[in-house]
Structure 1
Amino acid sequence: MDIEILGRALTTLPADDDHPYRTGPWRPQTVERKADDLAVIGEIPADLDGTYLRNTENPVHPAMEIYHPFDGDGMVHVVGFRDGKAFYRNRFVQTDGFRAEQESGRPLWAGLAEDPAKSPTQTGWGARGRMKDASSTDVVMHNGVALTSFYQCGDLYRLNPTTLETLGKASWNGQFPSEVGVSAHPKLDERTGELLFFNYGTDAPYMHYGVVDAKDNLVHYIEVPLPGPRLPHDMAFTENYAILNDMPLFWSPGALAKGKYAARFHPDIPTRLAVIPRRGQTSDIKWFEADPTYVLHWVNAYEDGDEIVLDGYFQQDPEPPAGNGTLYQRMFRFLDNELMGPQLHRWRLNMVTGLSKEEPLSDTKSEFGMINQQHAGLRHRYSYSATTKPGWFLFNGLVKHDADTGIEEKYLFGEGVFGSETAMAPRLGSTGEDDGYLITIVSDMNHDVSECLVFDARNLAAGPLARVQLPERVSSGTHATWAPGSMIPDWREHDHPASALDL
């Protein structure tokens, strides 16, 4: 393995740091590396072709008062596969906030668990305002580049999908809604090349929905009126519709009037689901009511006759009790899937009658589900979810769910080993929905190493086909995506997978 140091971030974190989400599996990285011809235990399939991209939170400065793990600066990791070999890169997303704090050598924005009024910098980004847009939540591909995003809205930063060089912000030919930004989970339709997105804030109409075409033009943008400020996190789409939501977990209006942001669950208010024709107007929105819950992530949606079928994770307890634990245990209970109890769930929305039906699909507590993205917006059979360590925001295993039979296949990483959101990579020439590979990065606390694991999607329980050795232990994080080589410009035209664009 040939390793080269590309850069280092200035960090002011204390050497004796004891914060639970800046140590252990969440220990941040400050060094940017490139490594080629990675060592492999097992064999990388020759028909695995593309890049696995993963976003992580990597703080370089201490919080003003209380650090929340979602405050960390975005760092993207890429493991690229071509012709049975693999390479690795990791780079900070060069956001405006990251560059400003690197220049000042100190934090300039209050974080999620802090009072935004105490921010030294009175301008910022996001639905809350005055926050730093860390661009550390999601990463998706669109129009040949990777886009990173922030869960409370902000800019979309454009990255080269092989070198991870920051290429600036998405502008959509001057039409980007910079006054509001874009939320964490824009959705790519691989068949049309369209990117569907939403944003939200504290001012009426509280939400917008839009469509960007395959050439980066903002071709559709409408208001989605809500009763008040809400906390939507994800969306879904079908061939003809987009699905947004109004969940009964949102900022307390009384606290918000005082400039405070405290999320509260209202079990007496139903979940509301909005179905919009993909190029429809505000007047075309159809609302459906369902049992009160909070859905952090959707898996997929598709059309079935008169119905929209929508799969996601129904939380049994969106606001777990604070209890009598430590400050960190009370504050981070919203990161504990054991307490919130998300389970795979299905909603059926009848476009003719306006009625909804719903049912649980699994009793396994899981989240962060992915599918074969060639089936996004179409009927799917298989989903791949993460199971989590009780008490922590850490992924300790995978579960493959068969929606047709209800059968689940599971794989646990092992004690002290934690993974990332698992992407499904269809193999070259694939002929079936699960004809491909599952890709995830794991961090082994027992041996202080990280590996990228490659599984046969049709035989998860057999364990990894390949364990690709990475040059440093990777910090835990949030979302990931698979970018097939066919989506990456010039991918097949050079001797080395990244040689055309290396720094």
Structure 2
Amino acid sequence: MKLERHPPVATSLKPSNHPYLNGAWTPLHEEVDADDLDVIEGVLPSDIDGIYFRNTENQVHQPLGRHHPFDADAMIHQISFQGGKASYRNRFVRTRCFQAEQEAGGSLWGGLADPVGTSLRPGFGAHGSLKDNASTDVVVHAGKLLSTFYQCGEAYALDPETLEDLGVSPWAPIDGVSAHCKVDEATGELLFFNYSKHAPYMHYGVVGADGKLKSYIPIPLPGPRLPHDMAFSEKYSIFNDFPVFWDPRLLERDIHAVRFYRDMPARFAIVPRHGGPEEVKWFEAAPCYVLHFLNAYEDGDELVLDGYFQEDPTPRPLEGSVEGHEHMMALLDMHSFRSRLHRWRFDLKTGETREERLCDDIVEFGMMNARFAGRPYRYAYSVTSKPGWFLFNGLVKHDLHTGESERFTLPEGVYASEAPFAPRIGAVDEDDGYIVSFLIDENRGTSECVLIDAKNFAAGPVCRIALPHKLSSGTHAVWADRAFIQAGRVAT
């Protein structure tokens, strides 16, 4: 391994016993470039050509109040595969807030668990007082890597090959871009939404393959809501109005208390991809919350949507968890809100909704072959989690045609990252390729990258690659074929 270290960022963070500032969530402040990565086990495949990107949470400065893991600063990790070799690099996303705190030498914004008024400067997001840390999702569009904030932020661009800072995306509207914008690889379009505390409370936008905003329309809601994700098919985009939102009475006093209104239905808004607000159609379904959707596609007169149905989006504090953090631990625990793979069918002619559970396992953070996004598909890949923690301890491959699944479980103390699908060069079958993930090994204090043959999933990694340092955990990841990255550069 050939390693180049960059100067560490300035930090004021003090030692802490906080559960999300230790262990697999220990912040990493080092930035490096590494070539010719060492293979621990197996053979590095030569039949993939692309880059795996992972967004992670790394608190740089001492929190002003109660730290929530989603408050921490974004760091993108990249492993590039080409010609049977692998290289790695990582960089902080240098948002305007990151730069301001570097200049100040300390935290300027409070976090998700803090009351309004904690921040020392005006904030961002639908909440209105948070730091735009861009540490939630990561996608590739128009030849650029985009890093986004879990509420609504400015959508920061980086060069996908070098991770060079390219600043705020020029098409991002004043109300920002939600955590989960979607890229349709078939058309090169990016679809996004945002939400806020002022009418109409939600907007939907389309950015072309050329990186320019093509449309931006309101999706009116009854009041402030907390949507986290969206989905799309070839013809439609799908949004939501779930009965999980800030208590309106408390919100009048600037208190952001989330409630689950169990007597209200879940509602889904379906709009033609390039349609106007007058074309929005609403469908009702069983009350729930969905953090992440998996895919959607058209099936005759029906629109099929798959996602992870939460049975209890606002669970009680978790008994036996880290003292003083019982409520936070519950709200980050898949086992507490009981998320399961679920399917909705919306009849576009009759307005009726049918729904069914696809899997009884508690799973989340689903991925699939992105070439099938918005189209009929067969295979999905989810993560399992350590009960009581926001840590992924295994992966599951779902066959949505047969209902069968295969599981890869990690040893105790080893945790995965969100694991996208990397197609083999010349692949014909939907599952002809690899599942890629970074692992954090708390037993050894190391991290590595693993590749799992998607056609032989339960056998585990065909290749294990050493990384130069131990990563901090985080939320999302993405795979991008090199050809797709280069095509995006040409389009812009």
SS at match of 2:130: coil
For residues 284 and 65 of structure 1, the distance between their equivalents in structure 2, rounded to whole angstroms, comes to 44
Deviation, structure 1 residue 488: 2.6
Question: Match for 2:194 among 193, 199, 210?
Answer: 199
- Is the CA contact 2:65–2:118 (under 8 Å) kept in the aligned structure 1? no
User: Is 1:459 aligned with 2:459?
Assistant: no
Output aligned runs, 1:237-256, within 5 Å. 237-256=232-251
For residues 341 and 118 of structure 1, the distance between their equivalents in structure 2, rounded to whole angstroms, comes to 32
- Equivalent residue number for residue 128 of structure 2: 129
Question: Match for 1:442 among 434, 439, 442?
Answer: 439
- Equivalent residue number for residue 404 of structure 2: 407
Output aligned runs, 1:313-462, within 5 Å. 313-322=308-317, 326-462=323-459
- Equivalent residue number for residue 185 of structure 1: 180
For residues 316 and 196 of structure 1, the distance between their equivalents in structure 2, rounded to whole angstroms, comes to 28
1:432-471 deviation per Cα after TM superposition (whole angstroms, max 9, x unaligned): 1101110000000001110100010111111101101000
- Equivalent residue number for residue 54 of structure 2: 54
2:247 counterpart letter in structure 1:
S
For residues 56 and 329 of structure 1, the distance between their equivalents in structure 2, rounded to whole angstroms, comes to 23
**How has the CA–CA distance of structure 1 residues 300 and 361 changed in structure 2, closer, same or farther, with 3 Å as cutoff?**
same
Output aligned runs, 1:99-178, within 5 Å. 99-121=99-121, 123-172=122-171, 176-177=172-173
2:359 counterpart letter in structure 1:
S
SS at match of 1:99: helix
For residues 203 and 378 of structure 2, the distance between their equivalents in structure 1, rounded to whole angstroms, comes to 31
- Is the CA contact 2:318–2:329 (under 8 Å) kept in the aligned structure 1? no
Question: Match for 2:297 among 290, 302, 323?
Answer: 302
- Is the CA contact 2:140–2:485 (under 8 Å) kept in the aligned structure 1? no
1:252-310 deviation per Cα after TM superposition (whole angstroms, max 9, x unaligned): 11221111111111110000011000011111111000000000000000000000000
SS at match of 1:283: helix
1:139-183 deviation per Cα after TM superposition (whole angstroms, max 9, x unaligned): 0000111000001101111111122111111103xxx31x20000
- Equivalent residue number for residue 497 of structure 1: none
2:102 counterpart letter in structure 1:
Q
For residues 440 and 326 of structure 2, the distance between their equivalents in structure 1, rounded to whole angstroms, comes to 23
- Is the CA contact 1:234–1:297 (under 8 Å) kept in the aligned structure 2? yes
Gaps in structure 2 of 5+ consecutive residues: none
- Equivalent residue number for residue 36 of structure 1: 35
- Is the CA contact 1:246–1:271 (under 8 Å) kept in the aligned structure 2? yes
2:392 counterpart letter in structure 1:
F
SS at match of 2:24: helix
Deviation, structure 1 residue 376: 0.2
User: Is 1:475 aligned with 2:442?
Assistant: no
SS at match of 1:297: strand
Question: Match for 1:213 among 205, 208, 213?
Answer: 208
- Is the CA contact 1:416–1:444 (under 8 Å) kept in the aligned structure 2? yes
1:131 counterpart letter in structure 2:
L
SS at match of 1:368: strand
- Equivalent residue number for residue 23 of structure 1: 22
SS at match of 1:489: helix
SS at match of 1:461: helix
- Is the CA contact 2:61–2:107 (under 8 Å) kept in the aligned structure 1? yes
1:193 counterpart letter in structure 2:
G
1:66-105 deviation per Cα after TM superposition (whole angstroms, max 9, x unaligned): 0000000000000110111101101000100001101111
For residues 485 and 375 of structure 2, the distance between their equivalents in structure 1, rounded to whole angstroms, comes to 24
For residues 211 and 317 of structure 2, the distance between their equivalents in structure 1, rounded to whole angstroms, comes to 45
- Equivalent residue number for residue 258 of structure 1: 253
Moved more, 477-486 or 41-50: 41-50
2:478 counterpart letter in structure 1:
T
For residues 24 and 205 of structure 2, the distance between their equivalents in structure 1, rounded to whole angstroms, comes to 37
- Is the CA contact 1:324–1:330 (under 8 Å) kept in the aligned structure 2? no
For residues 339 and 314 of structure 1, the distance between their equivalents in structure 2, rounded to whole angstroms, comes to 12
For residues 206 and 52 of structure 1, the distance between their equivalents in structure 2, rounded to whole angstroms, comes to 34
- Is the CA contact 1:401–1:407 (under 8 Å) kept in the aligned structure 2? yes
1:107-138 deviation per Cα after TM superposition (whole angstroms, max 9, x unaligned): 001111111212111x2211111211000000
- Is the CA contact 2:318–2:388 (under 8 Å) kept in the aligned structure 1? no
- Is the CA contact 2:240–2:268 (under 8 Å) kept in the aligned structure 1? yes
- Equivalent residue number for residue 499 of structure 1: none
1:306 counterpart letter in structure 2:
D
- Is the CA contact 1:386–1:421 (under 8 Å) kept in the aligned structure 2? yes
- Relative to the length of structure 2, the TM-score reads 0.97
- Equivalent residue number for residue 80 of structure 1: 80
For residues 277 and 59 of structure 2, the distance between their equivalents in structure 1, rounded to whole angstroms, comes to 40
- State the aligned residue count: 486
Deviation, structure 1 residue 329: 1.5
For residues 131 and 116 of structure 1, the distance between their equivalents in structure 2, rounded to whole angstroms, comes to 9
SS at match of 1:343: strand
For residues 163 and 255 of structure 2, the distance between their equivalents in structure 1, rounded to whole angstroms, comes to 36
- Is the CA contact 1:56–1:76 (under 8 Å) kept in the aligned structure 2? yes
SS at match of 1:374: helix
Q: Percent identity?
A: 54
For residues 482 and 157 of structure 2, the distance between their equivalents in structure 1, rounded to whole angstroms, comes to 18
Deviation, structure 1 residue 489: 3.3
2:257 counterpart letter in structure 1:
A
2:449 counterpart letter in structure 1:
C
**How has the CA–CA distance of structure 1 residues 162 and 69 changed in structure 2, closer, same or farther, with 3 Å as cutoff?**
same
Q: What is the RMSD of the two structures over their aligned residues, measured on CA atoms? A: 1.3
Deviation, structure 1 residue 490: 9.5
Deviation, structure 1 residue 12: 1.0
For residues 328 and 458 of structure 2, the distance between their equivalents in structure 1, rounded to whole angstroms, comes to 35
2:118 counterpart letter in structure 1:
K
For residues 311 and 335 of structure 1, the distance between their equivalents in structure 2, rounded to whole angstroms, comes to 21
Deviation, structure 1 residue 323: 5.6
